[in-house]
Amino acid sequence: MKWWQVPAYRIQKFKKSSLITPILVLVLIIGLVGAVGIGCASLKSRQKAYDAEIAKYQNLIAMEENRSREIAEYAMYTKTTAYYEEVAREKYRLVHDNEILFVTE
């Protein structure tokens, strides 16, 4: 049976069923757009969390750089005579020849 020999009632039925396909495609597209939107929102929230973590670690790096700078300055200070005099006074209670040391206990 050729398409021009198909009875009219079958052609009418075929035309009604052809409306289902575009509706299903539209529903599928809306579902995919919704899924992509939800995924995008999830990625944005993750990005905010990662940005906060990056800021935290950058702050820690800055603190450690300050600490290493202070340690380097202290290392330079320990090589001076002022440091040696300070240690001698505090630990060993040594004084210069013309100084008087008052001890309070």
Residues 36 and 44: their CA atoms lie apart, in Å, by 12
Q: What are the distances in angstroms from CA 63 to CA 20, 56, 57, 76?
A: 65, 11, 10, 20
pTM (2 decimals)?
A: 0.55
Range scoring the smallest mean pLDDT among 10-14, 27-31, 69-73: 10-14
- Residue 61 has φ and ψ, to the nearest 5°, of -65, -45
pLDDT at residue 56, as a whole number? 98
